[in-house]
């Protein structure tokens, strides 16, 4: 009886190695292709925008039409103000909703709430702007920073809620059982043990939601409106980077086009900074 040989067939082996190499190269090219758009974005923003970035850009108001120079100080501060207002609305409601889904909800109702949140995540951002326009701009007869903050905040709620739920569900049931078996009241188990364990994940979710809404333009068009001056009253229109970029980009002036590129670069830098802090946070979690 002949034993099957362990010897490789040299021709088949060469063929197999060639296929292996070809597929590896193909997959590598796909990976490069995925990263290309990011490099393109950064390349264009830096090449067009960096030259217009100077100290004035961060400290001065926009100049009137026809005058050169000026900056977007009001839009930068405006964007940060809007983000803060959005966080005040979106974070508590989103986190509490996520806690309800993960810790208290009954299966049937949870299904509906989750479905509603997923639909809300898919609502086009301009629709949020229109809804808030009808809710807050029409009744008060003025565009306002409040309306802009509410529009962004409403967009954040489903985002924060779903990520909060997801990280809470990842907290092992054994921690809840151990805490309850110590005779600790349920709300304390959730606030002091479960939330604490999931804190990094929740903060990560909040930051991702902030980064997501920071670049939104459409919800602000009919709410915050934009403003060429400092906003001293949140009941009045406020400037925001995306709005300022939008109005400068569609203007006929070269100087404003340059500033729009610079504004886009700053906006991108803010969002990149948020994403980098997310990475720093999650790395800390994985190393444990």
Partner 1 sequence: MSIRPPPVAPVQPVSVSGGAQAPSTAVPASATEEIAFDIRDFSLWYGARQALDTVSIRVPARKVTAIIGPSGCGKSTFLRALNRLHELTPGTRISGSLRLFGEDLYGRDVDPAVVRRRVGMVFQKSNPFPTLSIEENVLVGLRLNGVRDRAFLRQRLEETLRMAALWDDVKDHLRRPGISLSGGQQQRLCIARSLAVEPEILLMDEPCSALDPLATAKIEELIQSLRETHTVVIVTHNMQQAARCSDRTAFFYLGKLVEFADTRTVFMNPHNPQTEAYVSGRFG
Which stretches of the chain bind partner 1, using CB under 8 A?
Answer: 106-107, 172-186, 188-189, 192-193, 196-197, 199, 288
In the bound complex, what is the minimum distance in angstroms from residue 184's beta carbon to partner 1? 5
**Closer Cβ to partner 1, 12 or 108, answer by number:** 108
Which among 154, 91, 69, 172 has a CA at the least distance from the CA of 117? 154
Report residue 281 as tokens.
């946070």
**Closer Cβ to partner 1, 11 or 106, answer by number:** 106
Report residue 17 as tokens.
């190695």
Report residue 160 as tokens.
């924060």
Cβ–Cβ < 8 Å for 223, 132: yes
**Closer Cβ to partner 1, 34 or 106, answer by number:** 106
Beta strand extents in 100-240 (DSSP E only): none
Distance CA 51, CA 66 (A): 20
Cβ–Cβ < 8 Å for 74, 230: yes
Report residue 15 as tokens.
């063929």
**Closer Cβ to partner 1, 21 or 188, answer by number:** 188
Q: Is 251 exposed, middle or buried (0-12, 13-18, 19+ CB in 10 A)?
A: middle
Terminal C-alpha separation, the chain = 57
**Closer Cβ to partner 1, 7 or 173, answer by number:** 173
In the bound complex, what is the minimum distance in angstroms from residue 118's beta carbon to partner 1? 23
**Closer Cβ to partner 1, 21 or 196, answer by number:** 196
**Closer Cβ to partner 1, 14 or 285, answer by number:** 285
Distance CA 68, CA 63 (A): 7
Distances from the Cα of 186 to the Cαs of 168, 180, 193, 194, in angstroms?
A: 15, 7, 10, 10
In the bound complex, what is the minimum distance in angstroms from residue 282's beta carbon to partner 1? 16
In the bound complex, what is the minimum distance in angstroms from residue 83's beta carbon to partner 1? 28
What are the two backbone dihedrals, phi and then psi, of residue 70, each rounded to the nearest 5 degrees? 85, 175
In the bound complex, what is the minimum distance in angstroms from residue 36's beta carbon to partner 1? 40
Residue 66 three-state SS = coil
In the bound complex, what is the minimum distance in angstroms from residue 103's beta carbon to partner 1? 11
Crossing angle (nearest 10°) for helices 107-122 and 145-170: 130
* Alpha carbon 247 to chain centroid, angstroms: 22
**Closer Cβ to partner 1, 162 or 176, answer by number:** 176
Facing residues of 225 across strands? 238
In the bound complex, what is the minimum distance in angstroms from residue 144's beta carbon to partner 1? 41
In the bound complex, what is the minimum distance in angstroms from residue 171's beta carbon to partner 1? 9
């Amino acid at each position: 009886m002949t034993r099957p040989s362990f010897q490789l067939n040299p021709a088949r082996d060469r063929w197999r190695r060639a296929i292996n190499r070809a597929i590896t190269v193909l997959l590598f090219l796909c990976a490069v292709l995925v990263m290309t758009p990011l490099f393109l974005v950064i390349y264009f923003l830096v090449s067009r925008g960096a030259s217009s970035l100077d100290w004035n850009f961060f400290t001065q108001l926009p100049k009137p039409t026809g005058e050169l120079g000026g900056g977007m100080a009001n839009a930068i501060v405006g964007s940060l103000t809007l983000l803060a207002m959005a966080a005040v609305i979106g974070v508590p409601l989103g986190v509490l909703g996520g806690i309800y889904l993960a810790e208290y909800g009954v299966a049937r109702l949870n299904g509906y709430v989750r479905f509603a949140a997923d639909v809300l995540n898919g609502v086009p951002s301009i629709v949020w702007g229109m809804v808030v326009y009808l809710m807050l701009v029409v009744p008060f007869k003025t565009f306002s920073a409040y309306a802009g903050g509410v529009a962004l905040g409403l967009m954040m709620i489903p985002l924060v809620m779903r990520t909060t739920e997801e990280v809470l569900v990842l907290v092992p049931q054994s921690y809840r059982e151990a805490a309850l078996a110590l005779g600790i009241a349920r709300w304390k188990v959730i606030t002091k043990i479960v939330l604490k364990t999931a804190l990094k994940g929740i903060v990560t979710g909040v930051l991702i939601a902030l980064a997501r809404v920071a670049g939104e333009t459409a919800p602000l068009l009919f709410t915050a409106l934009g403003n060429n001056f400092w906003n001293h009253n949140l009941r009045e229109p406020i400037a925001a980077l995306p709005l300022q970029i939008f109005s400068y980009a569609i203007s006929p002036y070269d100087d404003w086009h340059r500033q729009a590129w610079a504004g886009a670069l700053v906006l991108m830098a803010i969002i990149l900074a948020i994403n980098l802090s997310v990475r720093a946070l999650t790395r800390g979690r994985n190393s444990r």
